[in-house]
Amino acid sequence: MNPINIYPSGLKAMIADYMEKGFLENIINMFKHDVSLYAFIGDMMKDERFRVRIGISALLETLKKEEPENISKAIPSILPLLRDQNPVLRSDAAYLLGMIGYKDACPFLREAASDEDENVRIIAREAIEEIESGSDDV
């Protein structure tokens, strides 16, 4: 049985702790070995530790370059954050979706481009521009 199904909360906490300690390479290797870990991205973005949230951006940037065929697996866990009550999470989600470059995220980003929070609106618009001007199809 897959460990992600047995100990999901403990595994998420361990990955977040590794991220805070700067063990990005270890985490990258974990994601390369077990693509089911992409499902944790959204929950990990809710972590209050700044280094964890910044680490997720670095993780996804690296995985987009090194494992482009798997990067879209993060999207289902990121999309719900566009509607989170926290505007920082909404803007972070928009940023990540733009960075991933998945064209099917544009309708969700267009909705976020009308967000009540100005920063969310700006980042959502920038994400749409980045996706529409990008040449990669994720």
Neighbours of 15 (CB within 10 A): 25
Q: Which fold has domain 3-133?
A: Leucine-rich Repeat Variant (1.25.10)
Residues in Cβ contact with 81 at an 8 Å cutoff, skipping those fewer than 6 apart: 42, 45, 46, 89, 90, 92, 93
The tens digit of pLDDT for each residue in 35-87 reads: 999 999 999 999 999 999 999 999 999 999 999 999 999 999 999 999 999 99
pLDDT of residue 10: 86
Domain ranges of the chain: 3-133
